[in-house]
Amino acid sequence: MKSTVAEIRRRFDGEVERFANLETGQVATVDARLSLELITEAAARLVPDAGNLLDVGCGAGNYTLMMLRRLPALNCALLDLSEPMLARAAARVFQQTKKTAEMFQGDVREVALRENHYDIILAGAVLHHLRDDADWEGVFGKLYRLLRPGGCLMIADLVAQDHAALTEVSWRRYASYLEGLGGSEYCRKVLDYIAREDSPRSVTYQLELMKKVGFGSVEILHKNLCFAAFGGVKSRRTEGGR
């Protein structure tokens, strides 16, 4: 049985301090800082005149803060299940910019957001919580509709492999990485909560889904074991006004 949304929210409610520090909050993620830097730099290059940012699953705000270093004038919208995470992210944004971020507390599948409004959407370590195909297609379709034409969706996340043999290789090597960080007990702890909470899909699956919902182009920025950074751009001309 996978964790419920409420169970995931409660876990993150209690981990604000850890996730407010990239060096400790993302230590179990291979190449966390590199992926963060890659997706924010890519977004800034793809949409240099961006005005509106949406950070989906913003946590304590690390991705938004890095994005603001590159495009300081952005208006920021923060979305997260956890109210304490949202509060910390908004406070950090205000500290850096003296601007108030718009906050949305809830599940990305359910929260009402403005369509054709955002120039950049970031999704850092959040989409792996989606479950079945309907979830994945529904959320990717929604994120596409939220973007303005010419806008980009950039993702850094836990991913699966398409083939079982390669999945075994990836996860065996990832387990070795975790053991090197904190020993066998730490490794078991991380793998256990991944098994409970997460349902990652492959990069190939997600890029094909992005094209299916309408993205005009997609890119892989980085992949290492079961983590990747990638994204797509919404064409400036869209069919049917999507």
Q: Where do the domains of the chain lie?
A: 5-161+199-233
Check if the beta carbon of residue 96 is closer than 8 Å to that of residue 84.
no
Beta bridge mates, 217: 233
**Predicted confidence (pLDDT) per residue in 47-78, tens digit:** 999 999 999 999 999 999 999 999 999 999 99
Span 5-161+199-233 CATH architecture? 3-Layer(aba) Sandwich (3.40)
**Predicted confidence (pLDDT) per residue in 199-220, tens digit:** 999 999 999 999 999 999 999 9
Beta bridge mates, 121: 54, 153
Least trusted range by pLDDT, from 25-39, 127-141, 206-220: 25-39
Q: Output the pTM of the full model.
A: 0.94
Check if the beta carbon of residue 220 is closer than 8 Å to that of residue 230.
yes
